[in-house]
Amino acid sequence: MKSTAPPSAWLPEYLLLAALWGSSFLFMRLGTVEFGALPTAGVRVAIASLFLLPLLLYKGLGPQLVLHWKKVFFVGLLNSGIPFALFSFALLSISTGLSSILNATVPLFGALVAWVWLKDRPHGLRILGLLIGFVGVALLASGKASFKPNAAGVTTGWAVLACLLACVCYGISASFTKRYLGGMPSLVTATGSQLGATLGLALPTVWLWPQSLPSARAWLALLALGVLCTGVAYILYFRLIERIGAAKSLTVTFVVPVFAVVYGTIFLGEVVSSWMLMCGAIIVCGTALSIGLFKPKTVA
């Protein structure tokens, strides 16, 4: 369904979502170095669940969650549990800027999944966009991914693959949500997805819990991750899907790297190379074409 809402009705929430998700890479980095990848993801979704569940019950939406819990919990694993764990793992080896640029491929994989699953076949410029986007990914990976340890003993190849696999999960989740959860209140989808992710990550989180107590800074980072970057952000995200559609909502990942790079530069002293920026621009342009964001003008 094509949205007729003017940009003024959804743009502020769109930009707020981009800013929140951009900061998630910073907070994940601060948390995962002390908690580890899986506990970071597990604590993040648990905090988000504790934040969202009282809101859901206050709104009287508990019965809707109970009615659709299987589908909503499954979305939680695809759209939160698995991707959060993969990105947390990746941030042990690569920068927040690089991971956020790779995250911009979400609409690209979303378009591929919609093509295969929902038969939303791309034509013309959209096919060209898919090709351009994947060329950008290949260029970025060739320059940044290596399966040989560097001087610091870090292997970046698996981290890059983890980010791309997380993006595939996001793409599948978007099509699943569009097909099976259309019309669902955003608070139900957001809360249920975090509960599902919490259940899915509970055992790995307990099993891999760090032996030494993480610092207050790490706990605060996960608190921000859970409440702001997950609880509040997913309410905004599913609201956007309801108002402007899945494809347009996924384009928020184009803006996320801008915030992530700024945060990483200011707070972590990360350096963004011209090669990363060039590849990121190619990925964003290709992805924009692949989802039909740019269309040729027709002559009357």
The tens digit of pLDDT for each residue in 100-116 reads 889 888 878 887 888 88
Extract the tokens encoding 90: 């990746």
Q: How far apart are CA 139 and CA 133, in angstroms?
A: 10
What is the structure's pLDDT at 299?
Answer: 46
Q: Is pLDDT above 80 for 122?
A: no
DSSP string for 145-161 = --SS--TTS---HHHHH
DSSP string for 11-54 = HHHHHHHHHHHHHHHHHHHHHHHHH-HHHHHHHHHHHHHHHHHH
Mean pLDDT of 20-44: 96
Greater confidence, 295 or 47? 47
What is the structure's pLDDT at 2?
Answer: 47
Q: How far apart are CA 263 and CA 96, in angstroms?
A: 9
Q: Output phi, psi for 297, to 5 deg.
A: -75, 140
Residue 248 maps to a domain: yes
State the amino acid at position 52 in one-letter form.
Answer: L
Q: Is pLDDT above 90 for 289?
A: no
Residue 3 maps to a domain: no
Residue 298 maps to a domain: no
What is the structure's pLDDT at 88?
Answer: 96
Residue 165 maps to a domain: yes
Residue 167 maps to a domain: yes
Mean pLDDT of 57-64: 94
Residue 299 maps to a domain: no
Q: How far is CA 262 from CA 63, 89, 222, 228, 252, in A?
A: 42, 21, 20, 18, 16
Q: Write out the residue range of the structural domain in which residue 128 sits.
A: 8-290
For the chain, give the mean pLDDT: 86
The tens digit of pLDDT for each residue in 130-185 reads 788 888 888 887 776 677 766 555 678 899 999 999 999 998 998 888 888 878 88
Extract the tokens encoding 109: 């994989």
**Count of domains forming the chain:** 1
Instruction: Find where tokens 């990550």 sit.
Output: 201
Residue 295 maps to a domain: no
Residue 297 maps to a domain: no
What is the structure's pLDDT at 300?
Answer: 43
